[in-house]
Structure 1
Amino acid sequence: MLYFFRVFFAQELYCKFYIAKNLTINYAIVKKAITSMLGLLMFITLFSQNDTSKNAFVPNGKPMVKVFSNFHFGLTPYNNSSGFELQRAYIGYGYNMSENFSLKANIDVGNPGNESKYEYTAYLKTAALTYKKDKLQVDFGMIGLNQFKLQEKIWGHRYIYKSFMDEHGFGHSADLGVLLKYDLVKDLQVDITLRNGEGYKRTQSDSNYRGAIGSTLTLGDIMLRGVYDITRKEKVQSTISGFLGYKLKNEILAGVEYNVQLNSGFDKDHTLSGISTYASYSISDKFQVFGRFDWLTSNKISGEPGNWNKLEDGTKQIVGIQYQMIKQARIAINFQNWEPDDSTVDNAPFIYISLEFKI
């Protein structure tokens, strides 16, 4: 246990020094995140000292670090920006307290997107207690959500581009709440979520909640998933998602998903929908080719000249080749293009050299 604390505090001091030197950070959030993690670790210490029998389960844990970075440059005179970018850095720790209980805490450092592009902010991404026994799993706290986790897994290149629902705000990747998963039969799992609905970057600001029910069916190499998500503020906003995936060993991965959100942004009759298709093929143990096509669209509101989300509607194309340097690191050269529906806005083709490394 002493070794564990040495490792944890060494990582914490290094991260504090690096962040303070290079990033603009919301220190109040970082302080809360570190305090929460230390509280969880104190609980672990007490818990792990209770059972000393010879054949008892041995508590164990490991640190988690994952970084997404890239170098990119535009291919047109009107989109010719270039530069190195740190997209995301995840730092955390996972701990198995017993055969049934575990916990994970994770800090997410990234660009908030709604302020200066040069500012980075740290958030507590996850801090959840998990109970798992037989067919049942329960996650409680700041939990990672299941809404588009399977889609992200089949896409397989989160370090290059987010999954469709995450990118276009159909749902959150983490939130405060509870998640229940249950295996009805061998290949059929249902999951139910009740959460604040504000995501992991914001605290609860009202008494409204967000609920979702989903089901995943696995038929050999084929995966089917459906999710219904609902929340209410001024209006009832509901999101329906359907996914079909295919996995042949580790050689071929392919998926197609359709998502629709009714009363999007809690605005009456505002519908947002889209399709995302993606596939990858492993040429060898080291090389993989991949591609993706997204299409986002919205409906036309009576009395308005065009679709209500016209400035954001469009298609995204990605194609590239990935090289797995070692198990913990991979790099990809890829072409990305955003083609807006608005004819007055130019396309945005870019070349990216994307990198992921983790422990």
Structure 2
Amino acid sequence: MKFRIIVTVSFLLTSGLAFSEEGGMSSLIFFDYSYQTSENAPDHNGFEVKRAYFTFSKSVTHAIGFKIQFDVGRQKDRMNTNLYAYLKNALVKWKTDAGTFIFGLQGMNVFKIQEKTWGYRFIEKSAMDREKFASSADLGIGFSRKFAEKGFINAMITNGGGYKKPETDKYKKYSVLIGYGEQRLDKKRGFNAGVVFSYEPYKNGTVYRKQLIGFLAGFSVKKIRMGAELNIMDDSAVDKQNKLLSVYAVYKITERYQIFGRADRLDDGAENENYIIAGMVLVPAKSLMIAPNVRILEDGSSRNSFNVNFQYNF
């Protein structure tokens, strides 16, 4: 497996050089140092490459474009320390007067706005992504369109298994995002508000369904960016409802120094989980971000950690 990863990455790098005149090659790396401060914390303090993305994109015409992205990371099983490479995006985008159609393996729509409002994916995943309310990418067909000046809608039909697993049944996942405002509050001032919905039947002896509804809102002014989301997941197989609340705020001291805080709360009706992150982001150069931060996780026990996260791209 290690050999496969080396070959894949080498191929991507050489392909990027070969196609540089025709398209765009980019990379994004997440790297961190983690120190567990709790008394009974697991013994895995140290440095780690959390994620590496290699992307090639090309516009063939003003209406047709392609994108291929590989995602390199580790599995959650700490007994397996190998890095694995996955194909995360392999899509064609077709712009028409009616809207934009996307075919293939593509990013999901249910937390794309919230992730940009949070703005620090290299520090932590968005709340829904972290709690596995939805996969970050899936295989299928998507459609997006803008309306009423700043209104937007994104609808998708996908396999439902994510980008790391093959399809195993005949059922499909249906998801919709409807919102109004600026979609990238991490880059532009303004506000947004919206609702997301997904529905996925699946068979486990009999046919059950997973249903998600979420509400989101955020704003960005000169020095402050804030966002909040409430997500409710129902699974008819277990007759249980999970509620996930996440709020986050960023204060920009200068262009090079920012402070942030975030609090997530997961309630499944029987137990609660609270997750808090706070820290500072330093931007010594355009392609480098450094974020010392502390984390508190309460899920029956209390676990604290100190992390330094890095993001660099080229």
Task: State the TM-score, normalized to the length of structure 1.
Answer: 0.78
Aligned-pair identity (%):
26
Instruction: Tell me the distance in 2 between the aligned counterparts of 1:80 and 1:289.
Output: 28
1:245/1:134 CA distance change after superposition, 3 Å: farther
1:275/1:196 CA distance change after superposition, 3 Å: same
Indicate yes or no: 2:38 matched with 1:79: no
Instruction: Tell me the distance in 2 between the aligned counterparts of 1:166 and 1:229.
Output: 14
Where does residue 303 of structure 2 map in the other structure? Answer: 348
Alignment of 1:92-241 (within 5 A): 92-114=55-77, 116-133=79-96, 136-218=99-181, 221-233=190-202, 234-241=207-214
Structure with the bigger percentage of helix: 1
Instruction: Tell me the distance in 2 between the aligned counterparts of 1:225 and 1:61.
Output: 34
Where does residue 66 of structure 1 map in the other structure? Answer: 28
Residues 109 and 176, structure 2, Cα contact 8 Å, conserved in 1: no
Instruction: Tell me the distance in 1 between the aligned counterparts of 2:41 and 2:307.
Output: 14
Q: Unpaired segments of 5 or more residues in structure 2?
A: 183-188
Indicate yes or no: 2:295 matched with 1:336: yes
> Shift of residue 91 of structure 1?
1.1
Indicate yes or no: 2:230 matched with 1:258: yes
Letter in 2 for 1:154: T
Residues 26 and 122, structure 1, Cα contact 8 Å, conserved in 2: no
Instruction: Tell me the distance in 2 between the aligned counterparts of 1:241 and 1:145.
Output: 14
Instruction: Tell me the distance in 1 between the aligned counterparts of 2:170 and 2:302.
Output: 42
Instruction: Tell me the distance in 1 between the aligned counterparts of 2:263 and 2:88.
Output: 28
Where does residue 268 of structure 2 map in the other structure? Answer: 298
1:282 is matched with which residue: 236, 246, 252?
252
Higher relative contact order (CA 8 A, sep 6+): 2
Residues 235 and 268, structure 1, Cα contact 8 Å, conserved in 2: no
1:72/1:186 CA distance change after superposition, 3 Å: same
Where does residue 276 of structure 2 map in the other structure? Answer: 317
> Helix, strand or coil: the match of 2:129?
helix
Instruction: Tell me the distance in 1 between the aligned counterparts of 2:60 and 2:133.
Output: 34
1:102/1:129 CA distance change after superposition, 3 Å: same
Task: State the TM-score, normalized to the length of structure 2.
Answer: 0.88
Where does residue 5 of structure 1 map in the other structure? Answer: none
Residues 108 and 135, structure 2, Cα contact 8 Å, conserved in 1: yes
> Shift of residue 64 of structure 1?
1.4
Residues 193 and 212, structure 1, Cα contact 8 Å, conserved in 2: yes
> Shift of residue 133 of structure 1?
4.0
RMSD in angstroms over aligned alpha carbons? 2.5
Please give the per-residue CA displacement for 1:249-272, whole angstroms capped at 9, x wherever unaligned.
Answer: 4x2211000001011xx5231111
Residues 60 and 97, structure 1, Cα contact 8 Å, conserved in 2: no
Residues 94 and 105, structure 1, Cα contact 8 Å, conserved in 2: yes
Residues 109 and 175, structure 2, Cα contact 8 Å, conserved in 1: no
Residues 332 and 353, structure 1, Cα contact 8 Å, conserved in 2: yes
Instruction: Tell me the distance in 2 between the aligned counterparts of 1:206 and 1:151.
Output: 30
Residues 177 and 197, structure 2, Cα contact 8 Å, conserved in 1: yes
Which 4+ residue blocks in structure 1 deviate beyond 4 angstroms?
24-27
> Helix, strand or coil: the match of 1:235?
strand
